[in-house]
């Protein structure tokens, strides 16, 4: 039965009264769409007529008149739930309708024939919806979009849901007013507590869904619980700000997107909730960047100080192993805040059956464990002999699936910043230059011909990553140790001041963190070119 083709049909009907006397409505589990020309609700049910009556009880002023019911003899409750969840996320990314769903407890699950439903049936459903004018973009292009990757309707892990629910309960309290949503659920509207504000840290490695939880938390506060509050999201990474603005606009969430420097302005006007994404990139004063850090008054403040002063409640999305410069706030400063911490461990980005992140940390000697090749877990991880061959491979994947990019550590000077036509990497046999922009670089068509630095890629998913490990690090076979070559590290703002970093301990941490981030961007695969021959030989022992 696993190989049997699953047939389905989509029946058009009205809402709230079903006009067609079709028996399948009462005998099947179905997924359905209720819509007009602007708004859309997606649901699933094993008793459709009763479910439509529930929707009609809602106090929401939605003028939805039409419905599409997806039916199959093979659909069970798990299947229609899965189709519903996928439709919600793809419809959100498709951006044709305003989605009025308010699902709050999505969690992933397995069921019989899930692969067939996901790979074949859902594609057929989507093609039919496109024919009917209810969808406008193909699934492959949507899957690479930021709206899809950061959709607040994703399936969430139990630890993610626990973090969101705990924070909402900690900073809000129920009122006497009852909200009845379009999905038929009822709950008490909540409001911000008058008690002293709270501080939280959501800590997790790359790919554990920290940035995604920002959108989810805001969605639940505003749309699910109807909380009236002022929210700002601080995005230290220039490359991510436009993405978040678009996401929040599509989700119809009124939230301010701010830069870290904005937190130092108008301190008395506090936000009810301030969320800092990529909080490991908040700044402390560092002399070499004095021009950009004037708001820190020569070290009297750091940006975390301003975040606390500017907020009644503060949430930091944080990973201590993604600090890459001396100006980045150290983990000791974060720990001193004594904020309640939620740790995320489940990894959603890299398609590996093992513990790929642990493998990379061990490989880079960021912990005391020896790398175990079994931890790669079938992930497509390969060493490539030359940089141009690496680039050709990435270009091929770009044509095939899109969102495939080159990236590198900072071992080559960025001459093209002042000479736009200069090919920064030509001396190592690669006809390419550094990224020509920071904001939105990954999604630019020309970026496949360039090489991204760390500042373009933190918080970003790629389908395939081509990573150049430069000779800013090397392997010492006599000591069995990865070391840094300070002369070959070209980021002046990334180098500790002379005499402050004994044995290059800090710089080693920063450079390893950079390569750790770059080597954990690819969803389907990561290809590596290594400059230092001893380091290449060391990596070859663990990467087949």
Q: 314 and 175 share a domain?
A: yes
Burial of 391 (0-12, 13-18, 19+ CB in 10 A): buried
Mean pLDDT of 39-63: 85
Q: At what angle do helices 77-94 and 122-131 cross, to 10 degrees?
A: 50
Residue 443 carries which DSSP code?
G
Whether residue 1 lies inside any domain: the answer is no
Of the candidates 319, 257, 316, which has an alpha carbon nearest to the alpha carbon of residue 458? 319
Would you place residue 26 in the very low, low, confident or very high pLDDT band (cuts 50, 70, 90)?
confident
Q: Give dist(CA 171, CA 194) in Å, integer.
A: 9
Distance from C-alpha of 80 to C-alpha of 433, rounded to nearest angstrom: 48
Residues 293 and 395 in one domain: no
DSSP-assigned beta bridge partners for residue 271: 311
CATH of the domain at 325: 3.40.50.300
| Number of domains comprising the chain | 3
Say which residues have a Cβ less than 8 Å from residue 303's Cβ, sequence separation at least 6: 260, 263, 264, 282, 283, 284, 296, 329
Burial category of 105 from C-beta neighbours within 10 Å (exposed 0-12, middle 13-18, buried 19 and up): exposed
Neighbours of 166 (CB within 10 A): 13
124 and 163 in a single domain? The answer is no
289, 366: one domain: no
Q: Is residue 313 part of a domain?
A: yes
User: Are 181 and 274 within one domain?
Assistant: yes
Quick one: DSSP state of residue 158?
Answer: H
Is the pLDDT confidence value at 483 over 70? yes
Examine the fold and report which residue of 108, 123, 150 is the final residue of a domain before the chain moves on: 150
Are 208 and 114 found together in one domain? no
**pLDDT-derived band of residue 294, with 50, 70 and 90 as boundaries?**
very high
Domain CATH number, residue 463:
3.40.50
Same domain flag for 322 and 176? yes
**Over the stretch 319-367, which tens digit does the pLDDT of each residue have?**
999 999 999 999 999 999 999 999 999 988 999 999 999 999 999 999 9
Q: Please give the Cα distance from 489 to 470 (Å, whole number).
A: 9
Give the domain-ending residue among 85, 117, 150. Answer: 150
Q: Partners of 196 in the beta sheet?
A: none
Q: Is the pLDDT of residue 107 over 70?
A: no
DSSP-based three-state secondary structure for 69: strand
The mean pLDDT of the chain is 92
Query: Could you give the CA distance from residue 232 to residue 271 in angstroms, rounded to a whole number?
Result: 7
pLDDT class for 439, splitting at 50, 70, 90?
confident
Are both 278 and 414 inside the same structural domain?
A: no
Range of the structural domain that residue 499 is part of: 356-541
Last residue of a domain, which of 344, 376, 402? 344
């Amino acid at each position: 039965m696993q190989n049997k083709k699953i047939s389905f049909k989509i029946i058009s009907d009205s809402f709230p009264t079903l006009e067609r006397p079709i028996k399948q409505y009462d005998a099947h589990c179905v997924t359905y769409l209720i819509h007009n020309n602007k708004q859309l609700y997606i649901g699933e049910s094993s008793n459709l007529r009763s479910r439509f009556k529930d929707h009609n009880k809602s106090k929401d002023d939605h003028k939805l008149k039409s419905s599409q019911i997806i039916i199959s003899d093979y659909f069970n409750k798990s299947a229609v739930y899965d189709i519903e969840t996928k439709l919600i996320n793809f419809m959100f990314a498709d951006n044709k309708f305003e989605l009025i769903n308010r699902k709050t407890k999505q969690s992933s699950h397995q069921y019989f024939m899930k692969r067939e439903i996901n790979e074949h049936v859902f594609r057929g459903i989507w093609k039919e919806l496109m024919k009917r004018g209810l969808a406008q973009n193909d699934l492959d292009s949507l899957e690479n979009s930021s709206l899809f990757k950061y959709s607040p309707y994703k399936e969430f892990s139990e630890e993610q849901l626990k973090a969101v629910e705990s924070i909402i309960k900690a900073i809000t309290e129920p009122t006497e007013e009852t909200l009845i949503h379009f999905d038929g659920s009822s709950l008490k509207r909540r409001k911000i507590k008058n008690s002293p504000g709270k501080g939280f840290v959501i800590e997790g490695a790359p790919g554990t869904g920290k940035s995604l939880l920002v959108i989810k938390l805001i969605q639940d506060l505003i749309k699910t619980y109807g909380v009236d509050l002022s929210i700002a999201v601080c995005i230290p990474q220039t490359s991510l700000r436009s993405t978040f603005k678009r996401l929040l606009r599509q989700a119809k969430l009124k939230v301010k997107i701010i830069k870290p420097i904005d937190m130092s302005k108008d301190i008395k006007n506090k936000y009810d909730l301030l969320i800092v994404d990529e909080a490991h990139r908040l700044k402390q004063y560092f002399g070499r960047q004095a021009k950009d850090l004037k708001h820190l008054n020569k070290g009297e403040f750091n940006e975390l100080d301003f975040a606390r002063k500017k907020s009644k409640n503060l949430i930091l999305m944080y990973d201590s192993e993604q600090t890459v410069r001396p100006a980045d706030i150290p983990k000791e400063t974060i720990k001193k805040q004594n904020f309640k911490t939620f740790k995320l461990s489940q990894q959603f980005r890299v398609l590996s059956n093992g513990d790929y992140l642990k493998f990379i940390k061990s490989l880079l000697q960021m912990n005391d464990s020896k790398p175990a090749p079994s931890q790669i877990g079938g992930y497509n991880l390969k060493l490539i002999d030359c940089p141009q061959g690496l680039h050709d491979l990435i270009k091929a994947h770009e044509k095939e699936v899109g969102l495939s990019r080159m990236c590198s550590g900072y071992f080559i000077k960025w001459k093209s910043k002042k000479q736009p036509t200069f090919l920064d990497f030509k001396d190592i046999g690669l006809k390419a230059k550094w990224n020509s922009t920071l904001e939105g670089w990954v999604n630019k068509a020309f970026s496949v011909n360039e090489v991204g630095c760390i500042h373009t890629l933190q918080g970003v998913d790629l389908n395939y990553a081509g990573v150049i490990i430069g000779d800013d690090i090397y392997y010492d076979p006599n000591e069995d140790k990865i070391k840094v070559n300070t002369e070959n590290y070209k980021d002046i703002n990334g180098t500790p001041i002379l005499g402050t970093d004994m044995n290059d301990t800090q710089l080693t941490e920063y450079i390893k963190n950079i390569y750790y981030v770059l080597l954990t961007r690819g969803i389907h695969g990561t290809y590596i070119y290594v400059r230092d021959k001893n380091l290449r030989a060391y990596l070859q022992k663990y990467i087949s």
